[in-house]
Structure 1
Amino acid sequence: MYLGVDYYPEHWDKNMIDEDLDNILELNCNVIRIGEFAWHMMESTEGSFDFSYFDRVIEKAKQKGLKVIFGTPTATMPAWLANKYPEVLSEDEFNNKRVFGGRRQYCFNSKTYYKYSEIIIRELANHYKNEESIVAWQIDNEFGHEGSDLCYCDLCKKEFNEYLKEKYDNDINKLNETWGTIFWSQTYNTFEEIPLPKPTITTHNPSLRMEHERFRSVSIEKYAKFQVDLLKEILGKDSVIIHDFSGGYFDKSYDFSKVGKHMDVVAYNNYPVWGGQKEPIPAWEIACGLDYMRGIKGQNFWITEAIMGAQGHDVIGYLPRPRQAKMWSYQGIAHGCSSLMYFRYRGATKGAEQYCYGIIDQDNVKRRKFYEVQSFFKEMKENEALTQSEVKSDVAVVYDYESMASFRIQRQSFLMDYKQEVYRLYRPFYKKNINMDVIPSDSDFDKYKVLLLPVMIVHKKEVQDKVRKFVSGGGTVVFTYRTAVKDYYNNLTLGQFNPTYYTDLVGGYVEEVESFQDDQVAFLIGNEEFEGINGTATVFRDMLKTTTAKTLFKYEDEFFKDLAAVTLNEYEGGKVYYIGSGADNTIMDAIINKIINESKLEVIESEEGVEVVRRSLNDEDYYFVMNHTSDEKKFRNEILRAYEAKIVKA
């Protein structure tokens, strides 16, 4: 287990390194993460390489028994590279070159950037290939973050056209037919005529935009794989390669799970609060992000940036209260983090991250935050075997990159937010302290009892076949509104009711649809066992005509009173729920409680605001218990102070 800090010794006087490393040891660290933003230090002019500074840092770390995670520096190119080869810079949708400055301003399709990335990585890896204190290599930094997933330069257009040629067998007629370019006279004679989806009048063809989303994802995946393959070639197949993924995984124009499959370990930069936020995101959103990272490879992950102080670039956010950031670290470990580093050891005094406060502030004094980290690392070392155990789940939330992209392309409702629809299903299970996996749609479903498929608007035969098999095997599936509306190419399907190719499974079909605006809701009335439970729903509504399904909730609407809002269909030994609108917490809790009881899922009762995660070691169960509130709470016989976390034996 690696416990450590993100350390940027190059930001400080070199005479501070020994004292810093002693303090890092005092924190109970065993690793430092370095080098990710230091390209200029390693290659100050083209072809002039100097790793002596980091040689000294690594040597001092070794002398003190500290291991090293080293980052390839490609997230921050040197000024000379941008000046000499401006074609490496990405462009926004208005053809504005992103100027040198900031970070990740490169184009993922620049062959020149590939060339110079390879040169620095090859030199760096060869220099340190026999350095045993380097236990892992991080490639780049937070791919796609802060808008860097999008580029509209001429290089990208050329590569997009080549991508389409390959995808459509170099047959422009096949593409025209598939996309329906006869509409608005958009028919192409050559692939070179196809534009990038830059601003135009009205909007671009939805199929073009979907392929562009896939192309962006492929572009980032190729660059990530290029770095992994290069490092493996030099360092050997047993080397450990990681990437530190950012948040925003449901909003980015690339598929984290595709990039993650090339890594030995998925790493995550976990920020429950950021600059400008007056309070942290809800506890279940934090938990969902952790489960998402674990689900990328179906194995435990690392946190490479955990926060301890207030954060922000230009605007500072909420300050984690005493014990709160430590509690978030406990939460990370509970959900499968097996190694953790804090960002950062000391807050910067210069540069864009001066307000990203660290374990030690710019005054260089050890205070509360320092001792919280120290105690956390001590407690994790005492429970190391437990932290490495598997997180076992009977419930899975299934996400789908194309479905996320489809809603970016056509929101359909001003209120549509994909991640909020994920949380709408995730939250009720979380509140019952039921472990969940959050997995991509190409995962294996067999080990679960319940599958949650929020707004999976794009239908794919291979996924639908797995869902059918899962239900036939006795599993329970929960669909939501806007399920299976679009095909792989982001088109509707002629002659098919929605949910397309699922109507027998659902036991009904969508008869009418409606999008909601701000302050507009549908009223839902409970039926049969839910009689007396009423509530509201928003965002969108599918109104279902049932065939074999029974109606659990109806719409209170004189025009559509015969159409269902929520249904349940029993199908070949399994159960299929369809939630036709963005139902409120009262209704969601009622539905999910029914599913929990039917599926015999084990619930761990706790006070409001207290999260409990079950883990097992040597056939014994333990609870990670986190108090997410500012009040004193109790879990069984344990008293939890405000924001306190504990490990207790079940």
Structure 2
Amino acid sequence: MINSKLPKIWYGGDYNPDQWEKHVWDEDIRMFKLAGIDLATLNVFGWSKNQPNEETYDFGWLDEMMDKLHAEGIGVCLGTSTAAHPAWMARKYPDVLQVDFYGRQRKFGGRHNSCPNSPTYRKYAPLMAEKLAERYKDHPALLIWHINNEYGGAGNCYCDHCEAAFRVWLQKRYGTLAELNKAWNTGFWGHVFHDWEDIVLPSGISEEWEGENGRTRTNYQGISLDYLRFHSDSLLECYQLEYAAVRKHTPDIPITTNMMGAFKKLDYHKWAKHIDVISWDNYPTIDTPYSYTAMMHDLMRGLKDGQPVMLMEQTPSQQNWQPYNSLKRPGVMRLWSYQAVARGADTVLFFQLRRSVGACEKYHGAVIEHVGHEHTRVFEESAQLGAELQKLGDTLIDATVPAKVAILFDWENWWAVELSSGPTIALEYVNEVHKYYDALYRQGIAVDVVSVETELSNYDLVIAPVMYMVKPGVAQKLEQYVAAGGHFITTFFSGIVNESDIVQLGGYPGELRNLLGIWAEEIDALLPSQTNRMIMTERDENWKEAYECGLLCDLIHSEGAEILAVYGDDFYEGRPALTRNKFGSGTAWYLATSPEAAFLEDWLQQLCAQIGIEPLLPSLPTGIEVVIREKDSNQYLFVMNHNAADVTVDLGKRSGVELITNRSLNKENEVLAGRDVWIIKQAVK
């Protein structure tokens, strides 16, 4: 349980009293109490204040604030302050400074500005964490540790320390140069390595360059892929050093670091194994699809097999770093907060509690605005939510989100897909995953977003969009799952390479060929202006006869699989576009192209019905989101209206008591107000 010392949904966020004179502190705490805030995240960027020089540590301000908050019944999420090193450190020990993609060493500035393989950083960051743990290990306000902040939020480092560490990392991974040369296919372009010291980092002055769509392009995918693994591991090692320093003194206090959804640079599945509680920062734009935000919540929840997570950051209203920083409309902050809770969050926290007066985040929204009092729209909405969360108490704490569908998401596969030298620059892994998620979201079907290491037997349907990289043992795992009665879907550009980005010979989709009952000989890349058609040979009476498709089209042959759709155009007209293969007691489908959204909605709706996966409500109007959390013998149905206008919702047989208003909902058609939410308590049948 995240919340054992404060058994309710924690409510609060980042607070930076070190940026303010002391006379402001008491006024802030007064308003925290008015808003129902019971948790403050402190000391995220306090390193330079805590350690003004190499020999001196001064925690006086932090002592005072920890005591003040505790006296008012407010707990603390305590940061280790190591997300930005002090200026004196950069001056005295320049090895702490990163080197950029083009070999230029940074000067002091910004944040996340430390080399993860700097001996100086690896000495002083865990030392700071240990000083804090020694000092506050018995402080009653301390509820959870917050290591660093948003790891990987700056550029990667290409310094000599990183290059030397990369060689050591490679030796551990491959053992011998012969194995490395094989994995990287270094016979190409005469790149065979005969000495570990000959290996350099892939960068803008070696193997890589900046390509279209902001992507990194590379001559050697294997080298670049391993560098991304190495960089993620390097930052993870920094986290682990601080984790160990804190754990030594506070063995019973949970430890987290905040993640960022589908953040490309770090393999969060690997990180999650070393984090007590998953926490993450949610910053959708005003036009982010609601289903995309939902998918990010589900992705974060899936990192530790569905355990509850922390919503560590969101804005009460306005952000400051997006191209267009729109206000959250009335009700939206509350609605999106409940969306997080519905999908597994046991905290609702903000960045930030009081707006800064200067620098780049002075226009980032806060519970306490620049005007400095509680008579603002944002504060009033925050106080309303705080009162509601107080009323809910511990009702939802540790509740789980049941799902019978899993979507496989893999960071290393993502890296490999978008490092690929073909077949199209338009292929974006996360977008393709989201297409499948969105089709299920619109029907009110719950989904877990999980890793390839997850036990699959609990799911009736597993979907792996663009499974380009098939890691060792995964094909066998999928065969066992399907043979035992599972249902599996994968798509175009799957089964192409192994974990080193080396093509699996013998015909695509490589190791998945036996499971899918097909092989592919070519992959056609369509221009953005081009489309093809999928002509259905087997369809429901309500389906269209043909659906548009595009992006990529695999030219496949059936090896026993049934053909459910064929291409309608071009020289491969009549060739299979969708197949179904019986395998043991289960079924595997291959969708050889990227179809329009209408097809995925029609197809997955029918498929789920056939399998016995039911939507949570009989039908969902546009803009209505539904999720269930379960605890003990009760279900809690969240119904959320993302529309500004009222919507009539058919609850079917799901009657119960709405927890916020205590109103009984028992009609098939109930009216849910614009941007409002119901949490309906029901007994599990």
Q: Do they superpose with TM above 0.5?
A: yes
Shift of 1:315: 5.0
Q: Distance in 2 between matches of 1:314 and 1:573?
A: 49
Q: Distance in 1 between matches of 2:60 and 2:317?
A: 32
SS in 1 for 2:355: coil
Shift of 1:387: 4.3
Q: Distance in 2 between matches of 1:504 and 1:198?
A: 39
The residue type equivalent to 1:373 in the other structure is: S
SS in 2 for 1:461: coil
Comparing 383-392 and 121-130, the one that deviates more: 383-392
Q: Distance in 1 between matches of 2:230 and 2:269?
A: 15
Gapped regions of structure 1 (runs ≥ 5)? 274-278
Instruction: Evaluate the alpha carbon distance shift between residue 5 and residue 166 of structure 1 in structure 2; reply closer, same or farther with a 3 A threshold.
Output: closer
Match of 1:389 in 2: 399
Q: Distance in 2 between matches of 1:98 and 1:462?
A: 42
Q: Distance in 2 between matches of 1:8 and 1:638?
A: 44
Which of 171, 178, 186 pairs up with 1:165? Answer: 171
Query: 1:342-353, aligned counterparts within 5 Å?
Result: 342-353=350-361
Q: Distance in 2 between matches of 1:160 and 1:362?
A: 47
Which of 606, 622, 625 pairs up with 1:594? Answer: 606
Q: Distance in 2 between matches of 1:191 and 1:74?
A: 33
SS in 1 for 2:124: helix
Tell me the alpha carbon deviations over residues 490-525 of structure 1, each in whole angstroms, 9 at most, x when there is no partner: 11123x221112112111111321122221222221
Match of 2:297 in 1: 290
The residue type equivalent to 1:284 in the other structure is: S
Match of 2:194 in 1: 189
Tell me the alpha carbon deviations over residues 103-157 of structure 1, each in whole angstroms, 9 at most, x when there is no partner: 1011111121000112211211111111121010000001112x34x11111111
Q: Distance in 1 between matches of 2:545 and 2:151?
A: 45
Match of 2:242 in 1: 227
Match of 2:470 in 1: 459
Shift of 1:647: 1.2
Contact 1:136 1:242 in 2 (8 A): yes
Match of 1:521 in 2: 531
Q: Distance in 2 between matches of 1:459 and 1:582?
A: 20
Shift of 1:314: 7.7
Instruction: Evaluate the alpha carbon distance shift between residue 616 and residue 179 of structure 1 in structure 2; reply closer, same or farther with a 3 A threshold.
Output: closer
Which of 425, 444, 469 pairs up with 2:480? Answer: 469
Match of 1:94 in 2: 102
The residue type equivalent to 1:638 in the other structure is: E
The residue type equivalent to 2:275 in the other structure is: M
Contact 1:280 1:318 in 2 (8 A): no
The residue type equivalent to 1:446 in the other structure is: S
The residue type equivalent to 2:458 in the other structure is: K
Contact 1:517 1:539 in 2 (8 A): yes
SS in 2 for 1:307: coil
Contact 2:531 2:550 in 1 (8 A): yes
Which of 107, 125, 136 pairs up with 2:144? Answer: 136
Shift of 1:86: 1.3
Q: Distance in 1 between matches of 2:670 and 2:105?
A: 57
Match of 2:638 in 1: 624
Contact 1:334 1:387 in 2 (8 A): no
Alignment RMSD: 1.6
Contact 2:261 2:299 in 1 (8 A): no
Q: Does 1:425 align with 2:436?
A: yes
Match of 1:407 in 2: 417
The residue type equivalent to 1:172 in the other structure is: L
Match of 1:84 in 2: 92
Instruction: Evaluate the alpha carbon distance shift between residue 332 and residue 72 of structure 1 in structure 2; reply closer, same or farther with a 3 A threshold.
Output: same
Shift of 1:481: 0.9
Q: Distance in 2 between matches of 1:485 and 1:356?
A: 44
Query: 1:13-412, aligned counterparts within 5 Å?
Result: 13-145=21-153, 147-148=154-155, 150-169=156-175, 171-199=176-204, 200=206, 203-236=218-251, 238-249=252-263, 252-273=264-285, 279-298=286-305, 299-313=307-321, 316-366=324-374, 367-383=376-392, 384-410=394-420, 412=422
Tell me the alpha carbon deviations over residues 36-95 of structure 1, each in whole angstroms, 9 at most, x when there is no partner: 111011001112001010111111111111111100111011111111111111121101
Match of 2:449 in 1: 438
SS in 1 for 2:281: strand
Match of 2:495 in 1: 484
Contact 2:261 2:300 in 1 (8 A): no
Match of 2:649 in 1: 635
SS in 1 for 2:554: strand
Q: Distance in 2 between matches of 1:201 and 1:38?
A: 38
SS in 2 for 1:502: helix
Match of 2:664 in 1: none
The residue type equivalent to 2:261 in the other structure is: G
Instruction: Evaluate the alpha carbon distance shift between residue 62 and residue 292 of structure 1 in structure 2; reply closer, same or farther with a 3 A threshold.
Output: same
Contact 1:543 1:563 in 2 (8 A): yes
Match of 1:576 in 2: 588
Tell me the alpha carbon deviations over residues 197-256 of structure 1, each in whole angstroms, 9 at most, x when there is no partner: 1124784322111211211121122112221111111222x221011112342xx22201
Gapped regions of structure 2 (runs ≥ 5)? 1-7, 209-217, 651-668
Q: Distance in 2 between matches of 1:551 and 1:492?
A: 26
Shift of 1:532: 4.0
Instruction: Evaluate the alpha carbon distance shift between residue 486 and residue 214 of structure 1 in structure 2; reply closer, same or farther with a 3 A threshold.
Output: same
SS in 1 for 2:235: helix
Q: Distance in 1 between matches of 2:304 and 2:261?
A: 17
Tell me the alpha carbon deviations over residues 544-595 of structure 1, each in whole angstroms, 9 at most, x when there is no partner: 2112111222111242124211111111111111111111111111221122
Give TM-score, length-normalised by structure 2: 0.90
Shift of 1:4: 1.6
Give TM-score, length-normalised by structure 1: 0.95
Comparing 172-181 and 160-169, the one that deviates more: 172-181
SS in 2 for 1:529: coil
Q: Distance in 2 between matches of 1:424 and 1:533?
A: 21
Give 4+ residue runs of structure 1 displaced > 4 Å after superposition. Answer: none
Shift of 1:411: 5.8
Tell me the alpha carbon deviations over residues 390-429 of structure 1, each in whole angstroms, 9 at most, x when there is no partner: 1111111111222111023116212111110110110111
SS in 2 for 1:588: helix
The residue type equivalent to 1:156 in the other structure is: C
SS in 1 for 2:385: helix
Q: Does 1:555 align with 2:587?
A: no
SS in 1 for 2:396: helix
Contact 2:504 2:511 in 1 (8 A): no
Tell me the alpha carbon deviations over residues 307-349 of structure 1, each in whole angstroms, 9 at most, x when there is no partner: 2111013855121100011100000000000112122112111
SS in 2 for 1:519: coil
Tell me the alpha carbon deviations over residues 463-489 of structure 1, each in whole angstroms, 9 at most, x when there is no partner: 222211111111111101111101111
SS in 2 for 1:554: strand
SS in 2 for 1:441: coil
Contact 1:553 1:564 in 2 (8 A): yes
Q: Distance in 1 between matches of 2:524 and 2:470?
A: 20
Q: Distance in 1 between matches of 2:114 and 2:526?
A: 39
Match of 2:676 in 1: 644
